[in-house]
Amino acid sequence: MSAASDVIIVGGGLMGSSAALFLRGHGLSVTLLETDLIGRQASGTNFGNVRRQGRPIHQLPLANRAIDIWRRSRELLGADVEYLQSGHIRVCYRERPELVGSMEEYADKARAEGLDLELLSGNALRDKFPFFGADVLAGSYSATDGHANPRLAAPAFARAAERLGAVIHEHTKIVDAQKIGEDFVVSAADGRTFRAPILLVTAGAWGNALSSQFGEPVPIVPRGPNMSVTEPVPYAILPAVGVMTPVEEETVYFRQVARGNIVLGGSTRGPSFPDQYRAYVEPQNTVSQLKHIRRLAPALGKLNIIRVWSGIEGYLPDSQPVMGPSATTSGLYYAFGFSGSGFQIGPGVGETMAEIIAQGATDIPIAPYTIGRFAKG
Amino acid sequence: MADPRIIIVGAGPAGTRAAEACVQAGIRPIVLDEGRRDGGQIYRRQPDNFTRPYAKLYGTEAPRAQALHETFDGLKDRIDYRAETLVWNIADGHVRTATRTMESALPFDALLLCTGATDRLMPVKGWQFAGAYSLGGAQVALKSQAVSIGHKVVFMGSGPLLYLVASQYVQAGADVVAVLDTAPYSARIKALPDLLAVPSVLWNGVALTLALKRAGVMVRNSVKPLEILGNVEDGLSGIRFRVGAGAEQTIACDAVAMGHHLRPETQLADLARCAFAFDPVTRQWLPERDGDGRSSVAGVYLAGDGAKILGARSAEASGRLTALAALGDLGLPVDKGEMASLRGDVGTYAKFARGLATAFPWPAEQAGALPDEAILCRCEGVTAGDLRAVMRETGAKEANRAKAFSRVGMGRCQGRYCGLAAAELIAAQADIPVEQVGRLRGQAPVKPLNISIGDTDA
Ligand SMILES: Cc1cc2nc3c(=O)[nH]c(=O)nc-3n(C[C@H](O)[C@H](O)[C@H](O)COP(=O)(O)OP(=O)(O)OC[C@H]3O[C@@H](n4cnc5c(N)ncnc54)[C@H](O)[C@@H]3O)c2cc1C
Ligand SMILES: Cc1cc2nc3c(=O)[nH]c(=O)nc-3n(C[C@H](O)[C@H](O)[C@H](O)COP(=O)(O)OP(=O)(O)OC[C@H]3O[C@@H](n4cnc5c(N)ncnc54)[C@H](O)[C@@H]3O)c2cc1C
């Protein structure tokens, strides 16, 4: 006999954990299955940006829903996930003045979606934030964005879900999923099976292995963004900072945590090995990241990094996730492939998926994320 | 075919003997060491402006020190020696190095890791106060700077280094108040058969203890350290302990040198993706290798104390043996008979090392017994109680998981100093064997890396 519930969730990252919590809120029984430990993959290794600005305008309603959850996270989760609403700045460099126009245009549209951005000249920025380098031409400041601790977030959602009655099985790798009659039957590598009329796949970079079993392969590419962290220094940099540029190498970002360490990320992405659940930092990426960080904020050049790491993220060709119902199989839902920017929206994704599953509809626009966009023919 | 590219990390006894073997085979190896000079840990050379004689600096080991330094000096023109060069990462067949100003990527056909050891520390309540040093740190202060760590010094912990450094302090005229050994005296008797494998070193050790007693130093066994007394402003002021089941005692002092023998520096082997296995005798995770020093990764070799703590003499033998193995694997002719005899030597030292581990056991139970308010991870200021609370709240009982939630081992030293004790505390709290707790994964950079590190030189 296999264990039965209303919903099976495969994948215990932030998406799966928050969906489990909100599904319990709708009164559905939930079984969450995770290969390893909760929140150890992308959700536990990411940079921790809780940033709305820069997301496609059509994603802002989802991002706004998420920010509301982040703000309530302490009460909701009964745990501190170190969420700080301390601002986010996106800057561009002198050699790309045309980006100032893009920033202005984006700010206009974002305002209509409830996200207020303030455009600042390079000098105004340097007055306020003296760490910026001379190459910074202008920036867009969002006072209501921020950051949180990825190591703590997904496990805190999972613990809260568990307290409300969700059943969580770690060390449970799902190798097969089928719909048999009215029920989905999923099987773990060790032979255990689980059964439910609804299946939600939140398997991150591994999502395609499951969607393919239902005739819906997606062209997902696993890659590993590279992170570094400095030794702690007195807490002085409130906002998270990132560069807007079409050149991958230049896309670096950083934030300081209250403990004092500065987390650095970006520049080129490395390879990752989903089969081994490991992503390795390529030394060259670290060197290139540090070089671009020095350009963005020369003052950081005095610090030492004490550790680097990477994590496995699934990227889709249009950089948008797969989110919503299956196009082939009723009762099947997807939320995976968040293409490097799923941390901020994560709790919003969980709440939205729970709403779709429990109520059959949501006001949040999810059409751009339909899996049907990858269907052949 | 062009000459094979051999890179040796570490210019201590193991690295020096490995380089010598390469040169004898007609190869010019690259030798990398972050230190300012060659010699490694035990035969650390004094700064240029100091002129203390060998006998004074190295005691009974003076002839070996001198021989090793002379060998290295003789090799200098025939090796590519790069001092003050940190190996910060290894990936894709390249060693990545950093000097103060430059980053380099060096390709290799064979990589010999001779990275040596660091102190193995067991936290004691109060060990974060100024005046608490590792045994190694205390020795370096004396060897390279000729200064004592304090006016009244207590040595506490266990292992041969405890007695060695204490007697070096006595010889240098420092006031050594006490040597507090956590090991029971009976353990030494039990270890005797193994220790007799290398009688000369055993005798040196016995002589050290006698000399300490002759000098009037209080030496105690079966010590249970309770607390290093002091405060943040003034540093430490004393030490509270018990001998066996006896009453609590307090000794006044202004410095404590502490350590429980050594742990190998295995981070580079980890970054090279070598497989590790748990060693139940030392309760440490060690990189796997065959009898000649081949790791689980083709082309990567391990020698000296960086692979397993077998001591300086063994490091010389295993350095040479491992280099011969690498040269043979690269198709060069090597003397099989010599390799067999070196294997025999290393085997003898391994027996002796097992004796040391028996005579001076790692007091694992001390970690489980740490009071909640004791700092466990000094870099991040995490107490034993913080870690226990995180375990209770989250159920974490795997080393990396506990680190992710509590920051234990997440600081500047990357868990070098707290990692082993933290694993024991977790094991005690979760009531599982320590090997089940696993080991902290190594991450680059092996030591802190400056953000201003230049571009990679091509
Ligand atoms: C280094 C890095 C930096 C990033 N920085 C940011 C950032 O600053 N801001 C931001 O918004 N986003 C960022 N992201 C992206 C963000 O982390 C991800 O989009 C988000 O965490 C995805 O969550 P998830 O739950 O879909 O995936 P994951 O966290 O990867 O979770 C998927 C889970 O599914 C499990 N799983 C997979 N297959 C199976 C199976 N068959 N059976 C059982 N379990 C299975 C996996 O073990 C995994 O735990 C970053 C990502 C990385 C890697
Ligand atoms: C603090 C301390 C004190 C000791 N004192 C004594 C003693 O007095 N008597 C005794 O018998 N034994 C002593 N030992 C043990 C003794 O050091 C070793 O047995 C012996 O030195 C081992 O030789 P080795 O060649 O394996 O390593 P080492 O002599 O330690 O040499 C390793 C070398 O590798 C270099 N290195 C390591 N990592 C890197 C890197 N990432 N990049 C670049 N270079 C690197 C180091 O700078 C070092 O020079 C001591 C050990 C320690 C740690």
Summarize pLDDT for A95-148 with one digit per residue, the tens.
999 999 999 999 999 999 999 999 999 999 999 999 999 999 999 999 999 999
Show the CA angle centred on residue B47, arms to residues B46 and B53, nearest 5°. 40
Ligand 2 atom having least distance to the Cα of B134: 1
Q: Which CATH superfamily is domain A88-143+226-310 in?
A: D-Amino Acid Oxidase, subunit A, domain 2 (3.30.9.10)
Residue B11 has pLDDT above 60, yes or no: yes
User: What pLDDT band is residue A377 in, cutting at 50, 70 and 90?
Assistant: low
Per-residue pLDDT, B144: 77
Sketch the domain layout of chain A as residue ranges. Answer: 2-47+151-219+317-374, 88-143+226-310
Show the CA angle centred on residue B395, arms to residues A36 and A349, nearest 5°. 55
Are A96 and A135 spatial neighbours (Cβ–Cβ below 8 Å)? no
Judging contacts by C-beta atoms under 8 Å, the chain B residues touching residue A268 are none
Cβ-Cβ contacts under 8 Å between A and B: the total is 78
Of B92, B95, B73, the closest CA to residue B8 belongs to B95
Q: What is the largest CA-CA distance in chain B?
A: 71
Per-residue pLDDT, B145: 78
The C-alpha atoms of residue B40 and residue B61 are separated, in whole angstroms, by 14
Phi, psi (rounded to 5 degrees) for B374: -70, 135
Judging contacts by C-beta atoms under 8 Å, the chain A residues touching residue B455 are 287, 291
Sketch the domain layout of chain B as residue ranges. Answer: 6-118+263-356, 121-260, 365-437
The C-alpha atoms of residue A296 and residue B159 are separated, in whole angstroms, by 50
**Mean per-residue pLDDT, B265-289:** 96
How confident is the model over B216-246, as pLDDT tens digits? 999 999 999 999 999 999 999 999 999 999 9
A345 or B146, which is more confident: A345
CATH class of B365-437: mainly alpha
The C-alpha atoms of residue A149 and residue A10 are separated, in whole angstroms, by 23
How confident is the model over A288-303, as pLDDT tens digits? 999 999 999 999 999 9
Are B333 and B48 spatial neighbours (Cβ–Cβ below 8 Å)? no
How confident is the model over A225-250, as pLDDT tens digits? 999 999 999 999 999 999 999 999 99
The C-alpha atoms of residue A213 and residue B59 are separated, in whole angstroms, by 71
Per-residue pLDDT, B456: 67
Would you give the DSSP letter of residue A374? G
Locus of tokens 């002198």: A94
Per-residue pLDDT, B457: 64
Q: Which CATH architecture fits A2-47+151-219+317-374?
A: 3-Layer(bba) Sandwich (3.50)
Which of A51-55, B114-118, B193-197 shows the lowest per-residue confidence on average (mean pLDDT)? B193-197
Per-residue pLDDT, A2: 65
User: What pLDDT band is residue A72 in, cutting at 50, 70 and 90?
Assistant: very high
Residue A1 has pLDDT above 60, yes or no: no
B152-158 β-sheet, strand order: B132-134, B255-260, B152-158, B175-181, B218-220
Which helix or strand (DSSP H or E) is residue A93 part of? strand A88-93
The nearest CA of chain A is from the CA of B91 a distance in Å of 7
Per-residue pLDDT, B114: 98
Are B432 and B397 spatial neighbours (Cβ–Cβ below 8 Å)? yes
Ligand 2 atom 9 nearest Cα: B42
Phi, psi (rounded to 5 degrees) for B310: -120, 0
Amino acid (1-letter code) at residue A296: L
Average pLDDT of chain B? Answer: 94
Residue B2 has pLDDT above 80, yes or no: no
CATH of domain B6-118+263-356: 3.50.50.60
**Domain B121-260 adopts which CATH fold?**
FAD/NAD(P)-binding domain (3.50.50)
User: What pLDDT band is residue B204 in, cutting at 50, 70 and 90?
Assistant: confident
Ligand 1 atom 3 nearest Cα: A46
The C-alpha atoms of residue B81 and residue B67 are separated, in whole angstroms, by 18
Does A289 contact B at CB distance below 8 Å?
Answer: no
Show the CA angle centred on residue B405, arms to residues A153 and A29, nearest 5°. 45
**Mean per-residue pLDDT, B338-349:** 96
Residue A255 has pLDDT above 90, yes or no: yes
Chain B residue with the nearest C-alpha to that of A264: B451
Does A309 contact B at CB distance below 8 Å?
Answer: yes
**Mean per-residue pLDDT, A335-344:** 97
Which helix or strand (DSSP H or E) is residue B110 part of? strand B110-113
User: What pLDDT band is residue B146 in, cutting at 50, 70 and 90?
Assistant: confident
In angstroms, how far is CA A68 from the centroid of its own chain? 16
Please count the residues of chain A. Answer: 377
The nearest CA of chain A is from the CA of B73 a distance in Å of 33
**Mean per-residue pLDDT, B90-119:** 95
Where helices occur in B41-181 by DSSP H, the ranges are 54-58, 62-75, 135-145, 160-171
Judging contacts by C-beta atoms under 8 Å, the chain A residues touching residue B105 are 283-284
CA of A41 to the centre of ligand 1 (A): 5
Per-residue pLDDT, A190: 96
How confident is the model over A185-222, as pLDDT tens digits? 999 999 999 999 999 999 999 999 999 999 999 999 99
Are B380 and B410 spatial neighbours (Cβ–Cβ below 8 Å)? yes
CA of B19 to the centre of ligand 1 (A): 46
CA of A14 to the centre of ligand 1 (A): 7
Residue B406 in tokens: 């509590």
Cβ neighbours of B329 (radius 10 Å):
17
The C-alpha atoms of residue B408 and residue B376 are separated, in whole angstroms, by 8
How confident is the model over A6-47, as pLDDT tens digits? 999 999 999 999 999 999 999 999 999 999 999 999 999 999
Does A281 contact B at CB distance below 8 Å?
Answer: yes
Option in A151, A230, A309 nearest B405 (CB): A151
Are B407 and B422 spatial neighbours (Cβ–Cβ below 8 Å)? no
Half-sphere exposure of B54 (CA within 13 A, CB side): 13
Option in A152, A287, A293 nearest B455 (CB): A287
User: What pLDDT band is residue B134 in, cutting at 50, 70 and 90?
Assistant: very high
Phi, psi (rounded to 5 degrees) for B428: -65, -45
Residue A283 has pLDDT above 60, yes or no: yes
Judging contacts by C-beta atoms under 8 Å, the chain A residues touching residue B451 are 230, 290, 293-294, 300-305
Per-residue pLDDT, B453: 87
Of B229, B239, B259, B227, the closest CA to residue B363 belongs to B259
Per-residue pLDDT, B297: 98
The answer to whether the A2-47+151-219+317-374 and A88-143+226-310 domains have the same CATH topology is no
Q: What is the largest CA-CA distance in chain A?
A: 68
Of B117, B144, B150, the closest CA to residue B132 belongs to B150
Residue B229 in tokens: 């007394």
Residue B259 in tokens: 């350590």
Q: In angstroms, what CA-CA distances link A332 with A166, A207, A323, A329, A355? A: 19, 13, 11, 6, 14
Of A186, A219, A208, A214, the closest CA to residue A336 belongs to A208
Q: In angstroms, what CA-CA distances link B190 with A250, B225, B244, B310, B363? A: 63, 23, 18, 19, 16
Residues facing residue A228 across a β-bridge: A264, A308
The answer to whether the B121-260 and B365-437 domains have the same CATH topology is no
